[in-house]
């Protein structure tokens, strides 16, 4: 079968012909219909985030159709539409028993530690596979498995309650979902901060108050809109030290900032005025949980989460085109989400 693989960091990804993966007793073989291209993939290619052992097939946002099931699989049949939770976990270690399987001591992420979905097929343990309702397209189902679910996890970690206000820094892949999910959670006001007018216009269509950070300080703009108070919850999904600090500075007393944008850089907080005095909380967000998937799928079925406008383009399983899409992500381009259709 065909697969787009990372052979070495800092090099272009390549198309390879590889063997079909073996299907264990508890595994589901999925024919990939759609696989998203995520900013993390650009980080794996650049070497900023380490992926491997290499070579590895990239792609961790996957939806498709069940091709074949292992002998012990009871919940799926060939032909089922499914989407894939990208973590493979043991279900038995300390962290799995807490329901925090992203820290599973033997956990692996598809498209990073083991082969992912930029390929004709992917094999997954049954426990990481979810039925995709007919109301949700393959494209949406795929993209939801990373950007939306991580946004959902960020809002859950930040304990956003109905009636509270929220600010989302960055209306890219994650931010598009974070804005809509904050609304779905019942947030009173949702501010969407970006410098790209197209992304701000999209956020406005989803009911957010656009904050253009290209001209003046977004924190001051948010304070002006909230009578000086600030927001209860902020979510940073860009991964820049400046926007991480803004996400803390825009908080109201007792506010919570969920930081989900990937970066290996340090960010500063003025300890007394920005953290201690308002009793602010800064919360790290990594991945998401299988238990969060059902609510996410429900929001999508109800139309509260609609990513059709966030998916800008689909591309074939072609290494040149995919490398080009990764280049665009490196440059923070206009496109919000590109998906691969093998």
Nearer to Zn ion, 146 or 219 (CB): 146
- Give yes or no for residue 18 binding Zn ion (CB under 5 A): no
Position with the least CB separation from Zn ion: 38
For residue 286, give the 3-state DSSP assignment: coil
**Sheet-wide strand order for 14-17:** 14-17, 2-6, 56-57
- Give yes or no for residue 89 binding Zn ion (CB under 5 A): yes
Shortest distance, CB of residue 145 to Zn ion, whole angstroms?
8
CB count, 10 Å around CB of 227?
7
- Give yes or no for residue 104 binding Zn ion (CB under 5 A): yes
- Give yes or no for residue 34 binding Zn ion (CB under 5 A): no
Binding span for Zn ion by CB under 5 A among 139-147, 234-242, 264-272, 309-317 = 139-147
Shortest distance, CB of residue 135 to Zn ion, whole angstroms?
23
Nearest to 186 by CA among 282, 304, 296: 304
Binding span for Zn ion by CB under 5 A among 9-17, 95-103, 225-233, 244-252 = 95-103
Candidates 30, 31, 34, 40; binder of Zn ion (CB under 5 A) is: 40
Phi, psi dihedrals of residue 283, rounded to the nearest 5°: -120, 125
Nearer to Zn ion, 89 or 128 (CB): 89
Gyration radius (Cα) of the chain, Å: 20
Binding span for Zn ion by CB under 5 A among 69-77, 89-97, 205-213, 258-266 = 89-97
Number of residues this chain uses to bind Zn ion (CB under 5 A): 8
239/267 Cα distance (integer angstroms) = 10
CB count, 10 Å around CB of 85?
26
Max Cα distance, the chain (Å): 61
Q: Cα angle at 30 between 25 and 31, to 5 degrees? A: 145
- Give yes or no for residue 38 binding Zn ion (CB under 5 A): yes
- Give yes or no for residue 146 binding Zn ion (CB under 5 A): yes
Nearer to Zn ion, 145 or 248 (CB): 145
Q: How many CA atoms lie within 13 A of 44 on its CB side?
A: 27
241/265 Cα distance (integer angstroms) = 7
Q: How many CA atoms lie within 13 A of 209 on its CB side?
A: 16
- Give yes or no for residue 90 binding Zn ion (CB under 5 A): yes
Shortest distance, CB of residue 93 to Zn ion, whole angstroms?
3
- Give yes or no for residue 289 binding Zn ion (CB under 5 A): no
Nearest to 88 by CA among 118, 48, 119, 117: 117
Shortest distance, CB of residue 77 to Zn ion, whole angstroms?
27
Shortest distance, CB of residue 214 to Zn ion, whole angstroms?
26
Residues that bind Zn ion (CB under 5 A): 38, 40, 89-90, 93, 96, 104, 146
């Amino acid at each position: 079968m065909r697969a787009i693989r990372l052979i070495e960091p800092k090099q272009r990804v390549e198309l390879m012909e590889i063997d079909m993966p073996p299907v264990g007793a508890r595994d589901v073989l999925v024919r990939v219909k759609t696989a998203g291209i995520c900013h993390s993939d650009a980080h794996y290619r650049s070497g900023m985030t380490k992926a491997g052992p290499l070579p590895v097939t990239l792609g961790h946002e996957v939806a498709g159709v069940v091709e074949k099931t292992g002998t012990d699989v009871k919940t799926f049949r060939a032909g089922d539409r499914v989407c894939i939770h990208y973590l493979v976990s043991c279900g038995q270690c300390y962290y799995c028993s807490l329901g925090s399987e992203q820290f599973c001591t033997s956990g692996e992420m598809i498209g990073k530690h083991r082969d992912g979905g930029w390929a004709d097929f992917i094999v997954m343990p049954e426990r990481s596979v979810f039925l995709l309702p007919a109301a949700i397209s393959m494209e949406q189902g795929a993209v939801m498995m990373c950007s939306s679910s991580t946004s959902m996890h960020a809002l859950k970690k930040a304990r956003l309650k109905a009636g509270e206000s929220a600010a989302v820094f960055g209306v890219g892949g994650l931010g598009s979902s974070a804005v809509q999910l904050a609304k779905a959670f019942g947030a009173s006001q949702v501010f969407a901060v970006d410098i790209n007018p197209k992304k701000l216009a999209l956020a406005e269509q989803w009911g957010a108050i656009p904050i253009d950070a290209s001209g003046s300080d977004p924190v001051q703009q948010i304070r002006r809109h909230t009578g000086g108070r600030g927001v209860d919850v902020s979510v940073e999904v860009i991964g820049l030290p400046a926007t991480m600090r803004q996400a803390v500075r825009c908080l109201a007393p007792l506010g919570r900032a969920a930081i989900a944008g990937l970066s290996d850089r340090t960010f500063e907080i003025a300890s007394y005025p920005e953290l201690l005095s308002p009793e602010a909380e800064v919360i790290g967000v990594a991945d998401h949980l299988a238990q969060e998937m059902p609510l996410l799928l429900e929001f999508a079925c109800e139309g509260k989460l609609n990513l059709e406008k966030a998916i800008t383009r689909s591309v074939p399983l072609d290494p040149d085109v995919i490398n080009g899409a990764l280049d665009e992500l490196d440059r923070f381009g206009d496109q919000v989400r590109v998906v691969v259709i093998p």
